[in-house]
Structure 1
Amino acid sequence: MNVLVGFEQSQEVAAAFIAAGHNAMSCDLYYPGAKGLPHYQGDFFDLLCKRWDLIIIHPPCTYTSLSGNRWYWNSPLRLEGAELCAHAWNEARKWSPKVALEQPKTIMQRYIGKRSQIIQPWMFGHPETKETWLWLWGLPPLEETDNVYELMLTLPKKKRHRIWQMTPGPERQRERSKTYPGIAQAMTQWGN
């Protein structure tokens, strides 16, 4: 299966698909691939010139996530972010019969319709919270692989809400945008 993972610098999802025997490529406009796997550093839309069996996109959420309401509610950046996300969703569906779009809690339902699924890291072996929304086109919902919810509840709040409580810094945005390996591995369910 030929898989394109758009807006991904960590290469977690691409690596999981490659390990599962698929041809996968990640792309990101600003960052080179973190793991040295096939990666295009450039515009996601440049790669929409051929058919893909599966496209998974993680558009930037800085301006579209609900956590940004305080800063970006009336900002033109919010509309630009929403338009980019909607454009990526619409274009990806022209080039693949199977598309997944991932965003944290977001304003995007207003622009691309109701989400298909809500997932949490604790459903896939990571004892943390980070509500993530998926829009799925031609794909089934992800099945939980390792529910560690009860274990997570035994941890201090600071550990289980690590992403939400991450201190500001130059790497914060990149760290918060990384896909958990357990979720990346679960996404390979779509390659079956």
Structure 2
Amino acid sequence: MDLVEAKIPYIAIENPIGIMNTRYKKPNQIVQPYHFGDSASKKTCLWLKNLPPLKYTNIVDPGEFIEFKSGKKIVKWYSDGLTKTKSAKERQIWRSKTFPGFAKAMAEQWGEFVKNEMFKKVKNESLFKEN
């Protein structure tokens, strides 16, 4: 958790729902891939420092689910990964998938936000510079 304490002006930590949101603190935002145009479900927590919450860009269907005889349901993209992967390492990589719409939203929205903040800072500093 060194990153949380780092002297960095803008930080976004993302992690799927799990142990971090119970051991650290409540996230600033919880998002789903289907909020950003990807027809899939994967609750992802965001802990933000000096960044705004993401705005949903394209809400779509949350995707297919597989239901077991026990009644338990899991998302199809994840189930597919369990059957297609051969090793624990491959499953780990499959589970860590970041969906493209979510990645694009982070890059575009936070990139634009930070760029604007930096521009304001430079502009303000130049206003007070002596000639």
| TM-score relative to the length of structure 1 | 0.47
Aligned equivalents of 1:175, 1:164: Cα separation in 2: 8
Q: Which residue does the alignment assign to 2:5?
A: 90
Corresponding residue to 1:169 among 86, 89, 109? 86
The verdict on how the C-alpha distance between 1:97 and 1:124 changes in structure 2, with shifts beyond 3 A counting, is same
Equivalent position amino acid for 2:42 in 1: K
The amino acid across from 1:157 in the alignment is F
**Pick from 24, 40, 43: which aligns with 1:112?**
24
Equivalent residue in structure 2 for 1:129, among 31, 37, 41: 41
Structure with bigger gyration radius: 2
- Determine which of 50, 65, 68 is the counterpart of 1:157: 65
Greater per-residue helix proportion = 2
Distance 2:39 2:110 in 1: 24
The CA distance in 2 between the partners of 1:163 and 1:134, in whole Å, is 22
Give 1:107 shift: 2.0
| Counterpart position of 2:111 | 191
Identity of aligned residues (%): 40
Unaligned stretches of 5+ residues in structure 1: 1-85
1:103–1:133 CA contact under 8 A, matched in 2: yes
Q: Which residue of the partner structure matches residue 54 of structure 2?
A: 142
Alpha-carbon offset, residue 163 of structure 1: 4.1
Write the deviation string for residues 94-149 of structure 1: whole angstroms up to 9, x where unpaired: 1x211000001122234432200000010011111101000000000001111003
1:9-158 to structure 2, matched below 5 A, reads: 86-91=1-6, 94=7, 96-149=8-61, 152=62, 156-158=64-66
Q: TM-score, normalised by structure 2?
A: 0.66
CA RMSD of aligned residues (A): 2.0
- The alignment partner of 1:134 has SS state of strand
Aligned residues: 99
